[in-house]
């Protein structure tokens, strides 16, 4: 199943989930009405039949009250999670791993996560550690790939080997690709509403117990009924939660093995959980987090009916039938001398095809190649991106690529907007960009993004405005400048944490946006109108939208392209595959994919929430 099919199925599961929870709500409302009806029989004015009760003001107000309580619970939980993954990490008390890692174990985790980011073409998630948890567990959370956190327990850091940790991290990245994170966040919000019914019942029981008046007996009885019904509702919600979660765990395990090419690493991590320490969390939020986690976070009830994960033995058998505990496999790392090509190199089209490029979305490049690329990044730039100078790295990326004639203008813009101290930091980094391969530029930006997104809202706005001013200094927009600007905008804009809504199910609805996007690629990667027209037509024909002339170069502005990508991002997942394939067709017209074209392809793909692995290292 492809990335796009997984995305489409994730949206179908969301609809299924909403239907099931709606059914659970109806059952809870009906049960509470039944209790109120029974209590109301002693009142002379109360209706004496079930049907008349439901049709009366008594039934109406009862139903509205229950719905209001559940809605308030869901709204409260959802508001607490409005900040996405970072809000959830803060809620459970996880510690952000920012700047230089505190110890060797945290540094190992960071290296593994960054290698995974490079291999998949996705921004690195913000890293958090649950220091007080000895359990072996981890999870990712967020609303979309641009806003992701990864939380790992201290027990997992201390216990897992590098191979095991790589398998766990790859498993969690798979949840990012398959859009499981958004579903998990919605599950948590829905369960919060049902849980509030039970808590309301507990409160009424306390009122009835603490009062000696006879009239409060019914209040206590109602409280007991609400508590029981609410608890049963939570159980019903947990059954739904568990059933959905178990299937996704098998899929994430399989995807992780596809990346690491080392089933024994993931199998060993699962085996270690079963034989040393376990994965059950001590957190008060463990029940709510159960469907997020790599391993079972709470003890399964009802003979495993509420288990959010398949049995460990079944997971191991599915990925490594011949697994032998204790078997060690050496890291599969290619010799660093091979490199990734010279600055400005191009990948021959013989090894690439538009369809294969589109199909590689949501997959990983070879782990060995990703590790070589990671280890080849200049340590000073890597430390700056990870630490306190992510903005300086971002500005330096642009200034290092700025033509000499426009260099002075760009520097003056930076000085005016950020001051002399910022200029000094950027100048100190520039020498480390000498000899840096083009293929390493966007990966370096992806590694800086977690720290950029951690800035305050005012700081993020300042970075976006400064980048725009530096880019505008020469009056033109290069492929690389556009790629940087799009990626930064997708992460730092106020809308970054919002999930992309699907509004278009036909290419006819986005004809103009599709035309402008393909025209931008055609003009940017071709010399002369004839070549641009050939590239445009090659990409346009498969859509069967009729003839369309190539827009004039002056009509394909950066502003128009930004607007076009926003429209294309609202396409259904299965249609996005055709868009990525068409974009690849455009750049393949001349028989080669130049590094700057590959960067633009990655920026466009990320704008559509379709992470594209590096083309220089085919999966």
DSSP states of 333-389: ---GGG-S--TT-EEEGGG--HHHHHHTTT----HHHHHHHHHHS-HHHHHHHHTT-
Distance CA 519, CA 126 (A): 35
Q: What is the pLDDT of residue 393?
A: 92
Verify that 448 and 520 share a domain, yes or no: no
User: Which one of 463, 494, 525 terminates a domain?
Assistant: 494
State which H helix or E strand residue 96 sits in: strand 95-96
Distance CA 514, CA 565 (A): 8
User: pLDDT tens digits, residue range 322-351?
Assistant: 888 865 444 433 333 333 333 344 554 444
With 0-12 / 13-18 / 19 or more C-beta atoms within 10 angstroms meaning exposed / middle / buried, residue 26 is: exposed
The DSSP secondary-structure symbol of 440 reads G
Q: What is the pLDDT of residue 364?
A: 65
Distance CA 120, CA 169 (A): 12
Residues in contact with 278: Cβ distance below 8 Å, sequence separation at least 6, in sequence order: 135, 136, 295
Please check whether residue 18 lies inside any domain of the structure.
yes
- pLDDT of residue 518 exceeding 80, the answer is yes
Buried b (16+ CB within 10 A) or exposed e, 110-145: bbbbbbbbbbbbbbbbbbbbbeebbbbbbbbbbbbb
Verify that 508 and 589 share a domain, yes or no: yes
Say which residue, 567 or 231, is predicted with more confidence: 567
User: pLDDT tens digits, residue range 370-424?
Assistant: 787 888 888 899 889 888 789 999 999 888 887 665 678 888 889 999 999 999 9
Verify that 432 and 484 share a domain, yes or no: yes
User: pLDDT tens digits, residue range 303-322?
Assistant: 456 677 888 898 999 888 88
Please check whether residue 358 lies inside any domain of the structure.
no
Say which residue, 22 or 152, is predicted with more confidence: 152
Give the structural domain span for 561.
499-607
Verify that 6 and 152 share a domain, yes or no: yes
Q: Are 146 and 492 in contact (CB under 8 A)?
A: no
Verify that 479 and 397 share a domain, yes or no: yes
User: pLDDT tens digits, residue range 195-238?
Assistant: 777 777 777 777 666 555 555 666 777 777 777 887 777 777 76
Q: What is the pLDDT of residue 225?
A: 79
Verify that 296 and 317 share a domain, yes or no: yes
Residue 388's domain is classified under what CATH number? 1.10.3680
The DSSP secondary-structure symbol of 474 reads T
Verify that 314 and 448 share a domain, yes or no: no
Least confident of 325-339, 448-462, 561-575: 325-339
Q: What is the pLDDT of residue 116?
A: 86
Mean pLDDT of 285-300: 78
Verify that 263 and 281 share a domain, yes or no: yes
User: pLDDT tens digits, residue range 594-609?
Assistant: 777 788 888 888 888 8
- pLDDT of residue 155 exceeding 90, the answer is yes
Least confident of 27-31, 229-233, 514-518, 527-531: 229-233
CA 295 to centroid of chain Cα atoms = 19
User: Which one of 316, 332, 348 terminates a domain?
Assistant: 332
Going by C-alpha positions, the residue among 601, 495, 516, 508 that lies closest to residue 564 is: 516
Verify that 129 and 225 share a domain, yes or no: yes
Q: What is the pLDDT of residue 376?
A: 84
- Please state, for a pLDDT cut of 70, what percent of the chain lies above it: 82
Distance CA 490, CA 495 (A): 8
Say which residue, 264 or 523, is predicted with more confidence: 264
Active site (catalytic) residues: 172
Q: What is the pLDDT of residue 552?
A: 87
> Facing residues of 593 across strands?
347
Please check whether residue 613 lies inside any domain of the structure.
no
Least confident of 12-26, 109-123, 569-583: 12-26
Verify that 311 and 398 share a domain, yes or no: no
Verify that 102 and 161 share a domain, yes or no: yes
Give backbone dihedrals phi and psi of 216, rounded to 5 degrees, phi first: -85, -5
What are the Cα distances from residue 328, in Å, to 82, 261, 324, 607? 43, 14, 9, 40
Distance CA 566, CA 516 (A): 12
Mean pLDDT of 245-273: 85
Least confident of 83-97, 262-276, 369-383, 470-484: 470-484
Please check whether residue 353 lies inside any domain of the structure.
no
Distance CA 38, CA 49 (A): 10
Q: What is the pLDDT of residue 146?
A: 67
> Facing residues of 430 across strands?
none
Please check whether residue 351 lies inside any domain of the structure.
no
Q: At how many degrees (to 10) do helices 595-607 and 558-568 cross?
A: 50
- In this prediction, residue 619 has a pLDDT band, given cuts at 50, 70 and 90, of very low
Mean pLDDT of 606-616: 77
What are the Cα distances from residue 329, in Å, to 10, 107, 316, 324, 364? 34, 21, 16, 11, 20
Mean pLDDT of 355-374: 71
Please check whether residue 286 lies inside any domain of the structure.
yes
User: Which one of 443, 467, 494 terminates a domain?
Assistant: 494
Q: What is the pLDDT of residue 496?
A: 61
Q: What is the pLDDT of residue 212?
A: 53
User: pLDDT tens digits, residue range 476-486?
Assistant: 777 788 888 88
- In this prediction, residue 6 has a pLDDT band, given cuts at 50, 70 and 90, of low
Q: What is the pLDDT of residue 302?
A: 58
User: pLDDT tens digits, residue range 546-555?
Assistant: 888 998 888 8
Verify that 448 and 537 share a domain, yes or no: no
Say which residue, 59 or 349, is predicted with more confidence: 59
Q: What is the pLDDT of residue 216?
A: 64
Please check whether residue 584 lies inside any domain of the structure.
yes
Please check whether residue 534 lies inside any domain of the structure.
yes
Please give the mean pLDDT across all residues of the chain.
Answer: 79
- pLDDT of residue 301 exceeding 70, the answer is no
Q: What is the pLDDT of residue 3?
A: 58
- Residue 99 C-beta-side C-alpha neighbours within 13 Å: 3
Q: What is the pLDDT of residue 577?
A: 85
Distance CA 355, CA 352 (A): 9
For the chain, the domain total comes to 3
């Amino acid at each position: 199943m492809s990335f796009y099919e997984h995305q489409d199925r994730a949206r179908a599961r969301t609809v299924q989930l909403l239907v099931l929870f709606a059914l659970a709500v109806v059952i809870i409302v009906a049960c509470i009405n039944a209790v109120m009806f029974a209590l109301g029989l002693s009142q002379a004015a109360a209706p004496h039949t079930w049907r008349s009760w439901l049709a009366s003001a008594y039934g109406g107000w009862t139903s509205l009250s229950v719905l209001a309580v559940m809605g308030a619970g869901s709204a409260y939980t959802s508001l607490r999670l409005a900040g996405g993954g970072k809000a959830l990490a803060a809620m459970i008390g996880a510690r952000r791993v920012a700047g230089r890692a505190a110890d060797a174990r945290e540094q190992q985790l960071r290296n593994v996560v960054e290698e995974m980011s490079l291999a998949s073409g996705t921004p690195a998630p913000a890293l958090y550690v649950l220091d007080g948890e000895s359990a072996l567990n981890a999870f990712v959370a967020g609303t979309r790939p641009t806003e992701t956190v990864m939380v790992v327990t201290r027990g997992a850091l201390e216990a897992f080997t590098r191979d095991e940790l790589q398998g766990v991290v790859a498993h969690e990245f798979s949840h990012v690709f398959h859009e499981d994170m958004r579903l998990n966040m919605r599950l948590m919000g829905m369960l919060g509403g049902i849980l509030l019914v039970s808590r309301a019942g507990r409160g009424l029981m306390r009122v009835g117990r603490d009062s000696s008046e006879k009239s409060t007996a019914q209040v206590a009885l109602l409280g007991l009924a609400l508590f029981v019904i609410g608890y049963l509702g939570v159980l019903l919600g947990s059954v739904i939660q568990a059933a959905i979660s178990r299937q996704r765990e098998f899929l994430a395990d399989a995807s992780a093995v596809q990346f690491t090419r080392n089933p024994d690493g993931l199998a060993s991590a699962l085996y270690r959980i079963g034989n040393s320490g376990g994965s059950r969390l001590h957190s008060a939020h463990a029940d709510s987090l159960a469907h997020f986690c790599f391993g079972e976070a709470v003890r399964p009830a009802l003979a495993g009916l509420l288990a959010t994960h398949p049995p460990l033995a079944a997971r191991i058998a599915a990925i490594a039938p011949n697994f032998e505990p204790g078997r060690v496999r050496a890291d599969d790392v290619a010799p660093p001398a091979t490199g990734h090509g010279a600055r400005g190199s191009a990948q021959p089209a013989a090894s690439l095809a538009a369809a294969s490029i589109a199909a590689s979305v949501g997959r990983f490049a070879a782990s060995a190649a990703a590790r070589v690329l990671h280890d080849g990044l200049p340590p000073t730039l890597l430390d700056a991106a990870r630490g306190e100078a992510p903005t300086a790295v971002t500005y330096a990326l642009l200034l290092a690529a700025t033509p000499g004639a426009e260099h002075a203008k760009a520097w003056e813009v930076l000085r005016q907007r950020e001051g002399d101290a910022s200029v000094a930091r950027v100048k100190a980094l520039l020498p480390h960009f000498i000899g840096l391969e083009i293929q390493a530029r966007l990966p370096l930006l992806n590694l800086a993004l977690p720290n950029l997104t951690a800035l305050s809202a005012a700081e993020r706005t300042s970075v976006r405005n400064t980048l725009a001013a530096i880019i505008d200094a020469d009056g033109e927009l290069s492929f690389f400048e556009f790629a940087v600007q799009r990626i930064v905008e997708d992460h730092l804009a106020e809308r970054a944490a919002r999930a992309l809504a699907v509004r278009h199910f036909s290419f006819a609805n986005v004809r103009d946006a599709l035309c402008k996007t393909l025209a931008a690629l055609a003009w940017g990667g071709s010399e002369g109108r004839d070549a641009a027209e050939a590239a445009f037509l090659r990409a346009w024909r498969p859509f069967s939208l009729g003839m369309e002339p190539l827009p004039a170069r002056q009509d394909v502005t950066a502003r128009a392209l930004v607007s076009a990508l926003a429209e294309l991002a609202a396409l259904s997942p299965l249609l996005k595959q055709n868009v990525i394939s068409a974009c690849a067709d455009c750049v393949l017209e001349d028989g080669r994919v130049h590094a700057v074209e590959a960067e633009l392809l990655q920026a466009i793909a990320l704008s559509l929430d379709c992470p594209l692995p590096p083309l220089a290292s085919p999966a």
